[in-house]
Structure 1
Amino acid sequence: MSPSTTLSSDDCRKRKSHKKSRKGCGNCKLRRCDESKPRCKKCQAYGVTCFYNSAPDAGALSVEVAFRVDLSTPPNRPAAPLLRSIPAPLPCTGSIDSPDAAYQLTPVDVRLLERFQKSIILTIGTQSSRGIYQRKTLPIAFCHPFVMHTVLSLSYLHLSTSPPPAFAYHYYRAVSLLHRKLSRPVLDSERDALWIAAAFIGVASFANMPDVTRPSEAWPLRAKNASDLDWMKLSHGKKQVWKLTDPMREAGIFREVAKEVYVHLMAPRASFEDGLGDFV
């Protein structure tokens, strides 16, 4: 074998070189960072805050994106039998009174979001609107905490006949933050987020039956109760959100979905029974 042949073989076996990130931003620790400034391409693609300091700027994080993914594995610690039955507090930053009440995503949340994107979202809306929901909902949720809490609460509700405490937590946060947003002048940048949050909260209120264990205990089969049609009262509130956000406006992300809902509800031939469960 000639020296030139040996050299050629060695070259073929060499590992392909690639740029290693030594001074990447804090959000790129789990993936390669191109170190572009002021924002690296990965952070722009993920829609998260890009920071090169030792700690993120809290103000920028809460305004632009209020979520960080925590993929660390908690240490296994023995717990007393009594304490095991008490749900652990959910990790969050900020308070319900803060403008954007940030929440730190956990590994469980990430798996829920994956399930939401792949299957849960496809059970909402009509055949033509599901694709729009699937493409647009999560990007909005990562920019607006009240939408993220709505998505997580709906996911918990969809996957369990007896929702865990985490469902109540996310549902409460979603409703509280949405109420806070609606009590102030509506920003153009938040219109689509407010509309989709109100729509999903309506779905959750209709589907949430915590005390029902069999069909005979659910409305309308059970004995009359003052709370039977509370979900319909919430629908009146959704109409007000519709007026505030105008989802049918030219620049509306959910414009096509809103047009479909509008035609369905306003058309003279549309009946209450036809497709009631198809729309949010």
Structure 2
Amino acid sequence: MKKLILNDGQKIPIVGFGTYKSTEQEGIESVKSAIAQGYSLIDTAAAYGNEDAVGKGIKASGVSREDVYVTTKLWRESLGYESTKKEFEKSLKRLNLDYIDLYLIHWPANAKNYDNWQQTNADSWRAMEQLQAEGKIKSIGVSNFFQEHLEALFETAQVLPAINQIEFHPGYWQKDLVAYCKKQNIVVESWSPLARGKVFGNGVLEAIAKKHNKSVSQICLRWIIQHDVVIIPKSTSPERMAENIQLFDFELNIAEMEQINKLPEMGFSGELPNIWPDRIKI
């Protein structure tokens, strides 16, 4: 499995397993199955309500702790210095782990929801830096941060975010934000890599898939990793899990990459970090 080197020297697998909506027994079994299929990066979040199931799935897999890369996230209603520390300990306990490989601020505070959103994000980040210094977190990062949120964070941050996990898929890949993150040596990670299913039935993607004798899903995921962006597709189907990780026996050429780059907007969630909890009309 290809890995990307983060700005703190840690390495992250470029393909991981997402667990959004995978709860209780289904969550346990899907994580266990994913690890058996070769996934080593498991992505969860406090807001998913499944950290307990993810932890049990990791334990049931029988693999060594150091062979699993675990990501979880601080929910946007728990921002602030003291709250961040408390919420992290809750996540750690639910996962039943001694440390987290990657801890992210799930959504930034913004001007619509906080009187001083810059300070709120900075306070959360300071707590995360301390938890990292204590060895409880290997890498710290953010999710859904626009450039404005990152620039404000840089004013006080002692540690650069290692990751920015954002919505990234054909039809909505935030090209300018990705370029900015790469310039800052921040690795980008994709959520919703299949555009909430909107990629299926797209003629361009179907033609490229047919040429490579691959599925549309595999074409989309391969396109993302060729942008050097981490992917965390989710599935409870063992067959789909296997398909989603079989991405390294073919390559998209420059023309194909550009075709996908230029696809019109599709599958955008409508969720924007500078206006939550509202969504734009889509």
Between structures 1 and 2, the one with greater strand share: 2
TM-score normalised per structure 2: 0.25
Q: Which has the larger radius of gyration?
A: 1
TM norm structure 1: 0.25
